[in-house]
Amino acid sequence: MSDTAQYGFDTLQVHAGARPDPATGARQTPIYQTTAYVFRDADHAAALFNLQEVGYIYSRLTNPTVAVLAERIATLEGGVGAVCCSSGHAAQIMALFPLMAPGRNVVASTRLYGGTVTQFSQTIKRFGWSAKFVDFDDLDAVRAAIDEDTRAVFCEAVANPGGYVTDLDAIAGIADAAGLPLIVDNTSATPYLCRPIEHGATLVVHSTTKYLTGNGTVMGGAIVDSGKFDWSASDKFPSLSAPEPAYHGLTFHETFGPLAFTFHGIAIGLRDLGMTMNPQAAHYTLMGIETLSLRMQRHCENAVTVASWLETHPKVAAVTYAGLPSSPYADRAARICPKGTGGLFTFALKGGYDACVKLVGAVELFSHVANLGDTRSLIIHSASTTHRQLTEEQQIAAGAAPNVVRVSIGIEDARDLIADLEQALAQL
């Protein structure tokens, strides 16, 4: 698809990256279920392995089905390229991998998915990396947390679980002043509701498992490269600005320019970490993205309706949905997510922890699962599940206090969702 700038989002979500199959004329992107690809000759093979020619070698690195998905997500996000991988958690490690080294740190928002907090506070220490968690509403604290060993700033556009909206423009300004890339997890918002690169993000990560696929069938992740960061402006990022021994001294930024991070993600990241997306998962996600805008519109409409109803319920202490006029983040949400703030939010129950546990067991239409972004409405008590490994202080900072329930509002009839919550709340 040429000159994508002339097309609207609804057109790009169907067509970007896809072309009729040259061998058969198949209109839908085929599932290229193959591990390897035949080289034309020895010179062709050598050129591919030397990164002198773009093509397919082995499906741990690149695959035609996955390549279509990468191009589509990059196009929708306004990036120059993308790397697809096996999960959202894989995407986060892949995003940090070229930037970090033993002794280096990332400054991260306290408002993150519980699994991300655990990954950053515990698991990455095994690589010699560390994370500093800061309230990103306190801009002075963000600036103060950055030191000589900081190599990235990380946040979620719309945070899981509470639906908190990050002031991306302000955080990008701080990262730029420090000469650091801003990595934004855009899973909850999707590029239909928020385009972080337009607000200064360097890299955008996704759990494609969630809204992009939208049907709860396959795992996946993606890293989108804005192509706007100068990796050679300092000596902080030698993986991209210095000669790479594995490729005979090739320098990624000098050789590939704006696509340096994307090529490194494939040629080094996927090659050595092996966090590969399988082609069938890519196929399911491509089909899901074709209806992304339609689904997100309904998710937002339903979320506003359900959140507004919950806000008036006598057993509900508070609702966090940024799409409500009463939200302290309503003005910010209108600027960062002008089309809506998605289907994810939390509400606190006056009955506390025990009431939350009872509620998730009493619903009938909502599914009690550890997922979000499905067409089906989902519910979970984060403090006893996804955020269980965190201290109570960390849970509260992340928006997952013990008296809080998270909901991912689907695309069903909103009246049915309210009726289900009503009968469950009546049992408390």
pLDDT tens readout for residues 326-365: 999 999 999 999 999 999 999 999 999 999 999 999 999 9
CATH number of the CATH domain containing 67: 3.40.640.10
Mean pLDDT of the chain: 95
**Predicted local confidence at residue 324, as pLDDT:** 96
Q: What is the pLDDT of residue 399?
A: 82
Domain match, 361 and 413 both: yes
Cα 204 to Cα 156: distance, rounded to the nearest angstrom = 9
Three-state DSSP at 380 gives: strand
CATH number of the domain within which 388 lies: 3.90.1150.10
Same domain, 248 and 369: no
- Whether residues 413 and 339 share a domain: the answer is yes
Q: What is the pLDDT of residues 140-177, one digit of tens each?
A: 999 999 999 999 999 999 998 888 999 999 999 999 99
Whats the size of the chain, residue-wise? 428
Least Cα distance to 360 among 342, 384, 389, 344 occurs for: 384
Last residue of a domain, one of 288, 306, 327: 288
Within this chain, do residues 324 and 269 fall inside the same structural domain, yes or no? no
Total of domains in the chain? 2
pLDDT band at 400 (very low <50, low <70, confident <90, very high): confident
Q: Are residues 275 and 308 in the same domain?
A: no
Instruction: Answer with the residue of higher pLDDT: 14 or 399.
Output: 14
Q: State the Cα–Cα distance between residues 154 and 162, nearest whole angstrom.
A: 17
- Tell me the mean pLDDT in the region 30-44: 96
Average pLDDT, integer, range 36-56: 95
Residue 283 within a domain: yes
pLDDT interval class at 82 (50, 70, 90): very high
Alpha helices in 277-413 (DSSP H): 279-289, 292-311, 330-336, 352-362, 392-398
Q: Are 207 and 95 in contact (CB under 8 A)?
A: no
**Same domain flag for 247 and 352:** no
Q: Pairing state of beta strands 344-349 and 316-319?
A: antiparallel
Looking at the predicted structure, is the pLDDT value of residue 42 above 80?
yes
pLDDT of residue 219: 97
What is each CA distance from 17 to 66, 67, 69, in whole angstroms? 10, 8, 7
What is the model's pLDDT at position 114? 85
Helix ranges, 78-138 (H): 88-96, 114-121
- Percent of the chain's residues with pLDDT above 90: 90
Among residues 264, 288, 312, the one where a domain terminates is 288
Task: Give the pLDDT confidence of 112-121 residue by residue, as tens digits.
Answer: 998 899 999 9
Q: For residue 399, tell me if it sits in a domain.
A: yes
pLDDT higher than threshold 80 for residue 2:
no
**316/279 same-domain check:** no
pLDDT digits (tens, 9 = 90+) for 287-337: 999 999 999 999 999 999 999 999 999 999 999 999 999 999 999 999 999
Lowest mean pLDDT among 20-29, 213-222, 323-332, 395-404: 395-404
Boundaries of domain holding 383: 292-426
Phi-psi region of 36 (alpha: psi -120 to 50; beta: other; left: phi over 0): beta
> Tell me, what's the pLDDT at 326?
95
Residue 382's pLDDT is 86
Is a pLDDT exceeding 70 seen at residue 3? Answer: no
Mark whether 404 and 268 lie in a shared domain: no
Report the percent of the chain where pLDDT is more than 70.
99
Does 120 map to a domain?
A: no
Tens digit of each residue's pLDDT (9 = 90 or more) over 234-258: 999 999 999 999 999 999 999 999 9
Average pLDDT over residues 85-89: 98
With 60 as the cut, is the pLDDT of residue 1 above it? no
